[in-house]
Structure 1
């Protein structure tokens, strides 16, 4: 047995905060007076109001504490984090799942604050990503806009159910209810119009070719006053959401102006428009030094499958886990949009979708988009250059392409014999397998 020198502490003077809705338990740990390597510790209770948080800041300064660690507890961590950050402290936010109470350890607020202080002084856990204040202001607007868009979509779906209940088959004729034509017909119904022929004549554009079908679909025989009353409220709610979304979009355009260059960079990526770029920047920021590599960003966003293996066996379905839901929604929309384009990302999505479920193909496409986003935001001069929809075909060997086509036809029940038109080293005859 030999003596070894204990590893030095990561930080000498720290504080651990166990945060509640009304009260905060704070433990500070500083070097002892004896100089023998022992530590001094003290725990106090503070309120969660701004005045109490300023008193907490003064107490921490008295002990020359510069680093504060806290657990992400709901939204209650935000006031102490932001106030102490503004007061000049280095605030570290820990994932609640990583600092949970160990078996056999007492679970009290005081014990939790002591444990958080020890975690901080030893550097045991990496702090979670908290964006700077300008990005946080932008995030507040983009997240609420997404919530309003979801609420508007839900209300539109309720309108369709109401029309079906009233035996109005408008959605069976029109591909979308809330077009200029569909909205004009619903407004006319609310105003009291019940003649199917008059309602059908409100069609515009391509809908004019479906006048006869519209007359049959807009039979108001089963429409009651209760249906009309509820439809009126639903349309008013949709209009209200629409106005709020427009107001938020105008505010977002002002908040995103300092990041116009980054928005322009991301806008060039297939599937990501200006709205999607603003949503992505609001979630990950523009300083990619926080995410040391593209793989770090992909892992943080939970767009990389987590492999679990024990005793030589892989467990679970390689799920990615639960990441940032707002970033996930933005990337999901971007992946769907990219899959419809004639681009490298579109070709990648279609290629993956042939051998895996649609959702997995979308996650894999979002993974590629995140790698591109990290590269663009890491270099102010970087511009996106698409590799082309034929990227995989041009890189694949000709004989391999021919073999794949033959196998595809054989799976359909055909016997294939092919011969190269101009045989050379790249175009050799392919012998069928049967």
Structure 2
């Protein structure tokens, strides 16, 4: 037994069930009390005071959706720093089969806690959580804007307008001018095509054909609704970005060289360190910090962080045999943003980019449709370990070069291996010829062009 005065809380939307386990002074046993409270904040404060009166020093509860937030706040307010609170993953706490009630759940949590079988989840500090709320909301707004654009394009398709076929960006300067003109009542395709700007002017004839549809007043009204909604979403996204702020370091994509502002100003140095990693920019670094924080002492190693984020490969071994196992569940926000960063790093001439292409070929290349996804996930696993190292040491990332995986390969050995593979595939004898053409060499590397002889 590790903790003598513990409590387990079974959290629901309308009520919480609390079980307290403390030593019994009259006999060598454990005394257990259970009580139910409503989830109004005043009742939660009364619950926390009740726990303090019983001398509880450690509390455990499941992370049940958003319902545990006010419970945590009430416990922190009434218990102070002397009350340790463990918010545990519900998947790690399985009730005894056949004994499933709210009371039994709270008692089971308390019993697991007192013997040290529960591990608290990672809870970032308040300033990190504020950035997390804003970055997640920004993601939701961006997704909603994409859905609204799809709805608008559906209306255009119903009206016979093929603007998205000709223009690469339907919602650019030229496309927006044409959409506004359609809403205002303009139906002449020649006039609409004349609103094109820049390189889109080269497609005037195609634009006239694309804009000559059966656009009615009803379609114009629907397009107007969608455009108003898009403008409102753009305004909301701008406000959220300004609240998040920017770091002001030269590597940022927004207002470089300006003074740091917003909530991320406190983490300008950490964002600068993360931006040194290929594929990670200012926005991605902000999301990463909002999800994992900047204090890596919470994670004993890079492998622990990768497992927490759900980017580590799964394990399924029994009787000495390893079975197929998918990756474990984790932080989906970290997963999605790092997979996005992995795809961005694949377009760089760095060690991370070389690893992506190396894994892409290993997983089947273009012949396998899932090879790109698998390679991106594996590179995301590499990125999360690099992130842990960068934040732990406080030193920027130093790239090892795009030839990291090939610089140690003997060119003569590699050439002989490739020749053997090509001969096995073609069924022909491969001869390498030097540039001067005087010294043909069969089955060994040369310095010039390669030819083949029957």
User: Is 1:162–1:231's contact at 8 Å kept on the other side of the alignment?
Assistant: yes
TM-score after normalising by structure 1: 0.90
Q: 2:65 aligns with which of 74, 86, 95?
A: 74
Match of 1:319 in 2: 326
Change (3 A) 1:51 1:385: same
Match of 1:6 in 2: none
Change (3 A) 1:77 1:310: same
Where 2:74 maps in the other structure, the secondary structure is: helix
Match of 2:408 in 1: 395
- Write the distance in 2 (CA, Å) between the matches of 1:296 and 1:172: 47
* Counterparts of residues 203-352 of structure 1 (less than 5 Å): 203-220=196-213, 222-253=214-245, 254-316=262-324, 318-352=325-359
User: Is 2:415–2:444's contact at 8 Å kept on the other side of the alignment?
Assistant: no
* Counterparts of residues 49-88 of structure 1 (less than 5 Å): 49-86=40-77, 87-88=79-80
CA shift digits 1:248-290 (9 cap, x unpaired): 1111111111111111111121211111111111111111111
Aligned-pair Cα RMSD in Å: 2.2
User: Is 2:8–2:18's contact at 8 Å kept on the other side of the alignment?
Assistant: yes
CA shift digits 1:42-76 (9 cap, x unpaired): 11111212211211221111122121100111211
The higher relative CO (CA closer than 8 Å, separation ≥ 6) is in: 1
Match of 1:4 in 2: none
Consecutive unaligned residues of structure 2, counting only runs of 5 or more, are 246-261, 364-370, 437-442, 447-451
TM-score after normalising by structure 2: 0.86
User: Is 1:420–1:429's contact at 8 Å kept on the other side of the alignment?
Assistant: no
Where 1:345 maps in the other structure, the secondary structure is: helix
* Counterparts of residues 94-173 of structure 1 (less than 5 Å): 94-104=88-98, 106-173=99-166
- Write the distance in 1 (CA, Å) between the matches of 2:193 and 2:87: 59
User: Is 2:18–2:35's contact at 8 Å kept on the other side of the alignment?
Assistant: yes
User: Is 2:13–2:39's contact at 8 Å kept on the other side of the alignment?
Assistant: yes
Change (3 A) 1:195 1:288: same
TM-superposed CA distance for 1:403, in Å, is 4.2
TM-superposed CA distance for 1:77, in Å, is 1.0
Change (3 A) 1:179 1:408: farther
TM-superposed CA distance for 1:419, in Å, is 5.8
User: Is 2:86–2:120's contact at 8 Å kept on the other side of the alignment?
Assistant: yes
Where 1:354 maps in the other structure, the secondary structure is: helix
TM-superposed CA distance for 1:171, in Å, is 1.4
- 1:369 equivalent in alignment to 2:369: no
Q: Aligned residue pairs: how many?
A: 415
- 1:383 equivalent in alignment to 2:396: yes
CA shift digits 1:75-95 (9 cap, x unpaired): 111111122134422110111
TM-superposed CA distance for 1:112, in Å, is 0.8
